[in-house]
Amino acid sequence: MEQVAARFDGTEDFTLGIEEEFQLLDPATLELTPRFEELQQKAQARLGNSVRGELIASEIEICTGISNSAAEAEADLLDKRRQLFASAAELELTLGATGTHPFADWQDQRIIDTPHYRLIDRELRYCAWRNVTFGMHTHVGIRGRERMIAVFNAMRGYLPHLLALSANSPFSEGRYTFLHSARSQLFTKFFPRCGIPGPFHGWDEYAGLVETLFATNCISEPTEIWWSIRPHPLMGTLEVRICDCQGDVRDTMAVAALTLAMVAQLAADYDEGRRLPVLTTHEVEENFWRAIRHGLDGRLVDFNTRRELPAGDAIREIIDYSTGAQEQLGLGRHMAQVENLLKNGNGALRQIRAYEASGDITAAFREAVSRTQAMAGEDTGASNTDI
């Protein structure tokens, strides 16, 4: 942990990295298709180690590099999506990007054969088998171990806002769940060391917990801590893991940019000696449930003023709060996309509307997949508010 502390003390502020987890689909039926190894081999010629496995053989992940700006991250993400989608097309595969597959049976899935996932399979068994979920993770660089912990503690309170914005999984196992993020419910209830972590009284308490988990054989590597936000000990980043995968790359960038803006604004307040707001885990979990259940259609609680706000208004409050960081980091276009999502609906609402119009989950999913395919090579700099 001393090496990890040194990594955080030496990391560069407000770099950005994004991970996206995609579904491997049969183009005709849209069933999950366990062909990860084929696609990885095909895509590695274009993407190298940026394409990775993620538990099941019907899933593949791409990772951007460490970017110094949102514009750089966006260009990297677009290029990697194009290369991955081109590789999939050559194998006659289609890629989907919703937080859950709407009608897959978890019993039909195969866990990939790597040392890490063999360990996960052996240790978690049924809990791992049930995890047919697809998320996006945002990494933000933040210098200084104590500063990072202070921002970590405060960012916990805004995780439900980010989930409500990114919710994209109303269907699971052939049913309309009436949740906006079934992925969050499934993943956090099945995996250990998951969900909303408690706040820490400084770096030493966090480091002591990690050391204890290793010493008592609770974990064998640091990534077995699957909290919805975590310090990433190998990268020296604050990793936000609560969001559903996004079909539209503009939505991915909107969610990532708001995450970056909040981290940067909280860090600026910390630097100026302001006290950062830290909610209890009970308070965060109440809003976490509301975001899972109702997404942007729901209400979030402002525990400081003891009032409910429509989710969109609560998100607009954190947009307003982080205006200074947005301007400093050049995030204006991405904030406009956040507003588009609030005004016109996110992935969950699009899927729900399609289902209510047709009464057919497969038809709603096909529309979402088609949108993802259409966005694979689109120039996101274009003005487009048809969300």
pLDDT at 380: 47
Question: Phi and psi for 181 in degrees, rounded to 5?
Answer: -135, 80
Mean pLDDT of 42-70: 96
Closest CA to 22 of 65, 48, 54: 54
Q: Domains in the chain, please, with CATH?
A: 2-17+131-375 (3.30.590.20)
In contact, 10 and 140? CB cutoff 8 Å: no
**pLDDT tens per residue, range 252-281:** 999 999 999 999 999 999 999 999 999 999
**pLDDT higher than 60, residue 215:** yes
Mean pLDDT of 189-209: 96
What is the average per-residue pLDDT within 149-177?
Answer: 98
Residue 384: pLDDT over 80: no
**Torsional class of 313: left (φ above 0), alpha (ψ -120 to 50), beta (otherwise):** alpha
Asked whether the predicted pLDDT for residue 301 surpasses 80, the reply is: yes
Distances (CA, A) of 261 to 39, 74, 179, 256, 320: 34, 15, 27, 9, 10
Given a cut of 50, whether residue 17 has pLDDT beyond it is yes
Q: Do 342 and 163 form a contact (C-beta atoms < 8 A)?
A: no
**Per-residue pLDDT at 387:** 27
Q: If you average pLDDT over every residue of the chain, what do you get?
A: 95
* Residue 352 clears pLDDT 80, i.e. is over it: yes
pLDDT at 58 over 90: yes
Over residues 353-375, mean pLDDT: 95
The type of residue at 34 is P
Q: Which tens digit of pLDDT belongs to each residue from 77-91?
A: 999 999 999 999 999
| pLDDT on residue 382 | 36
The model's confidence at residue 383, banded by pLDDT at 50, 70 and 90, is: very low
Rg (CA), the chain: 20
Please give the Cα distance from 205 to 136 (Å, whole number). 28
pLDDT at residue 337 above 50? yes
Q: What is the pLDDT of residue 385?
A: 32
Cα separation, 74 vs 246, in Å, equals 14
